[in-house]
Structure 1
Amino acid sequence: MVDLAPRAEDALAELPAEGRQEIMETIAAALVQPESWPPPGGGGGALWFGPRSWVAFTAYLDAIEVYDLGWVG
């Protein structure tokens, strides 16, 4: 499961379609590799990079929360 913090939702909404697509692919890549997540509980963070994007997230037992993201278009 993925949750987007309000700040990340706002940033995603401002991107062009190409940027939104890449961000969603970057999130999906991070989501399927839980061994790369920080320890569960929301105290730590991790970065995951796409070709021209990045997402910052924290982890819980069965989900990640994306709290920041970016795309270089």
Structure 2
Amino acid sequence: MAFRVDLSVQAEDALKGPPDEGHRDVMEVIAAALAQRGSWPAPGGWDGAVRQGRRAWVAYATYGDGTEVYGVGWTG
């Protein structure tokens, strides 16, 4: 089943700062969060989740048809 991933304006803006390596780290964390569906917050509610990687993190919420990433960070 395909899911949509939307980046909020704030998340898109945050990705303008880091180098390519930072973009890659953030995208790897997003992919890992999507792959572990059992760790998702309840769809459509007010709950969100934070997923951390080696040097990046993402904050996201899930909905019936996809995921919204509303915060990202990278430590370079």
**Take 1:13 and 1:2, find their aligned partners in 2: how far apart are those partners?**
18
**Take 1:38 and 1:46, find their aligned partners in 2: how far apart are those partners?**
6
Large movers: runs of 4+ above 2 Å: none
Identity %: 55
Deviation for aligned residue 1:62: 3.0
Please list every run of 5 or more consecutive structure 1 residues that lacks an aligned counterpart in the other structure: none
Deviation for aligned residue 1:42: 4.4
Please list every run of 5 or more consecutive structure 2 residues that lacks an aligned counterpart in the other structure: none
Deviation per residue, 1:28-71 (Å, 9 max, x gap): 00011111110000411000011011000001123110000101
* Counterpart in the other structure of 1:61: 64
Which one-letter code corresponds to 1:72 in the other structure? T
Q: Give the aligned CA root-mean-square deviation in angstroms.
A: 0.9
**Take 1:32 and 1:42, find their aligned partners in 2: how far apart are those partners?**
20
* Counterpart in the other structure of 1:20: 23
Q: How is 1:46-57 mapped onto 2 (pairs within 5 angstroms)?
A: 46-57=49-60
Which one-letter code corresponds to 1:57 in the other structure? Y
**Take 2:15 and 2:56, find their aligned partners in 1: how far apart are those partners?**
11
Q: How is 1:19-38 mapped onto 2 (pairs within 5 angstroms)?
A: 19-38=22-41
The count of corresponding residues between Structure 1 and Structure 2 is 73
